[in-house]
Amino acid sequence: MIQIVFNEISAAELSRLPTQIQFQLLEALNITAADLEPGVLEKRFGVLERDGHKLYRCRTDDHRIYFARDGNNLVVHRVLSRNSLQDFLFRSNLPGSGEDEELAQSKHFWKLIDEGARTLRAI
Kindly report which listed range (1-5, 20-24, 85-89) carries the lowest average pLDDT score.
Answer: 85-89
Q: Which domains does the chain have, with CATH numbers?
A: 3-117 (3.30.2310.20)
SS3 74: strand
> Distance of CA 75 to CAs 19, 47, 64, 89, Å?
20, 14, 14, 23
CA-angle at 117, arms to 93 and 19, nearest 5°: 85
Kindly report which listed range (6-15, 54-63, 81-90, 102-111) carries the lowest average pLDDT score.
Answer: 81-90
SS3 76: strand
In the chain, DSSP assigns E strands to 3-6, 46-50, 53-59, 63-70, 73-81
Q: Are 23 and 60 in contact (CB under 8 A)?
A: no
pLDDT tens string 63-96: 889 999 988 889 998 888 877 765 566 456 555 4
